[in-house]
Amino acid sequence: MAQDRPTASELLAAIADLLREEVTPVLDKAEPRLGFQMRVAVNSLAILEREARLGPAADAREHERLVKLLGRDGTLDELNYELARQLRTGQRDERDAALMAHLEDTIADKIAIANPKWR
């Protein structure tokens, strides 16, 4: 059962902020190797926070595009499996404008979660 407040996204952001602003600077001075590992952990928490906040809507958009592209319904995993099958068998390729638009939009959503500074 989901909690009201703070949300999972808010909790992850608060933990990442604490570790980034308070813990990492201390570790950088005392144990640089641990400071680096803490930065990796903080970045991982930030990805989890964005995934909690942005992931459900991104998945819904991907599902909607796949239903339109493939002309059938199913779970997101089933639809992606079917698209992969069509790509493997040559039924679809990079000349398919709808496919390319879908892939570009899906990749943009994934990058927004993994590394929003990329663009």
pLDDT digits (tens, 9 = 90+) for 56-89: 999 999 999 999 999 999 999 999 999 999 999 9
For residue 11 the two structure tokens come to 């909790």
- Distances, alpha carbon 5 to alpha carbons 9, 10, 11, 14, 85, in Å: 10, 8, 9, 13, 42
- Residue 111: HSE in the Cβ half-sphere, 13 Å Cα cutoff: 9
- For the record, the structure tokens of 19 come out as 């570790």
| pLDDT, tens only, 90-100 | 999 999 999 99
pLDDT for residue 3 is more than 80? no
Q: What span, in angstroms and rounded, lies between the C-alpha atoms of 87 and 4?
A: 43
pLDDT of residue 4: 83
95-100: long-range contacts (C-beta < 8 A, 24 or more apart)?
Answer: 98/68, 98/69, 99/69
What are the respective helix, strand and coil percentages of the chain, to the nearest 5? Answer: 80, 0, 20
Distance of CA 114 to the CA centre of its chain: 5
36 alpha carbon, distance to own chain's centre: 23
Q: Is the pLDDT of residue 1 over 70?
A: no
pLDDT tens per residue across span 31-64: 999 999 999 999 999 999 999 999 999 999 999 9
> d(Cα 21, Cα 9) in Å, to the nearest integer?
18
pLDDT confidence band for 30 (50 / 70 / 90): very high
